Amino acid sequence: MGKEFDVAIVGATGAVGEVMRLILEERRFPVRELRLLASARSRGKRLAFRGEEIEVEVLEEASFDGVDLALFSAGASVSRLYAPEAVKAGALVVDNSSAFRMEPDVPLVVPEVNPGDIDGHCGIIANPNCSTIQMVVALKPLHDRWGLRRVIVSTYQSVSGTGRRALQELEEQLRCWAQGGDGPVEVYPHPIAFNCLPHIDVFQEEGYTREEWKMVRETRKIMSLPDLKVTATAVRVPVRVGHSESIYAEFEEEVDPEEAREILREAPGVAVEDDPQRDLYPQALNAEGKDPCFVGRIRADLFLPNALNFWVVADNLRKGAALNAVQIAELWAGKTS
């Protein structure tokens, strides 16, 4: 029998934390003991894991005693405060927040793309932003074939990417609408039901949002392409789960859409759904609860022989967050066992 690990989930009651617990169980990650950590609001809550109920504990400095692996998904400020404590206690931290992603000594890892990068860690491995993960999973095999030069991406991101409260807000707005009223507008600055908001995370330099900058910087770091041109427009849409992306990708060499389809069919973590004549293309509703990054609408650009257009959809809570974090943990566990 292989090594087993004491595992903690920080933010265990959040939208991503919940899926982390599910995926540890699904993938039979070798958990000896699971510790569920959250804020005082969730104290005493009991959550199921492998048929047992585990009581949620309040996160504090001493929470990491004896923990081998800590999966963080409670926002950047919690990670900044507590991840160093977990490292001090001897745990490996896989952090789903943006707190450490761009630190030079913190690997930023998508196992299908840059698994080797985990070796450089100093106790923390960062999990990339959801919209970046699904994009690089699709771009990497195409880059290996033709050499990626430029990306222009527009996203269609679901509210669950913001967290559980945002999901509740969309649902509440729609329930109120069905009864002829208006729902609460608290999580986003504007209603999200029946609307599109070109605004994810805060606005930063040059008029781009932090989400858009993440897609530039994280893609460059993960793909080891420090000069890659990435232009992003990140948009929130009234979808519960599943991010969609419209991607224009320009390469060094002339591309062929049929070969791209074949390459992607063989690529790890990718499922090609691309048969327009049968109305088959990736959809957020179908991606929910599934692991792959679904790629479809693969077509040559009409004007540039070295460019492709395609459509990528993934479950943002799974591949965009919890699944990728557990895959990182698996890579690490494989090296530790």
Q: Which residues bind a copy of itself (CB under 8 A)?
A: 150, 152, 154, 156, 174-175, 177-178, 189-191, 194-199, 203, 206-209, 216, 229-231, 233, 235, 237-240, 244, 246, 248, 257, 276-277, 279, 281-285, 296-304, 307, 309, 311, 313
Region of 50 on the Ramachandran plot (φ > 0 left; ψ -120 to 50 alpha; else beta): left
Active-site annotation holds for 130: yes
Between 73 and 157, name the residue whose CB sits nearer to a copy of itself: 157
Between 162 and 244, name the residue whose CB sits nearer to a copy of itself: 244
What length does the chain have?
337
- Here the tokens at position 104 are 């030079």
Catalytic residue among 121, 143, 243, 293: 243
Query: Minimal distance in Å, beta carbon 230 to a copy of itself?
Result: 8
What span, in angstroms and rounded, lies between the C-alpha atoms of 309 and 55? 47
Query: Minimal distance in Å, beta carbon 247 to a copy of itself?
Result: 9
Between 61 and 186, name the residue whose CB sits nearer to a copy of itself: 186
What span, in angstroms and rounded, lies between the C-alpha atoms of 52 and 33? 11
Between 38 and 260, name the residue whose CB sits nearer to a copy of itself: 260
Query: Minimal distance in Å, beta carbon 117 to a copy of itself?
Result: 25
- Here the tokens at position 238 are 């009234």
Active-site annotation holds for 143: no
Strand ranges in 74-159 using DSSP code E only, listed in sequence order = 92-95, 124-126, 148-156
Query: Minimal distance in Å, beta carbon 207 to a copy of itself?
Result: 3
Query: Minimal distance in Å, beta carbon 98 to a copy of itself?
Result: 19
Catalytic residue among 121, 130, 143, 293: 130
| Beta carbons of 230 and 157 less than 8 angstroms apart | no
In this structure, the strands spanning 52-55 and 148-156 are unpaired
Give the residue among 56, 57, 101 at the shortest CA–CA distance from 83: 101
**Half-sphere exposure (Cβ direction) of 157: Cα atoms closer than 13 Å:** 31
Between 290 and 299, name the residue whose CB sits nearer to a copy of itself: 299
What span, in angstroms and rounded, lies between the C-alpha atoms of 97 and 76? 5
Catalytic residue set: 130, 243
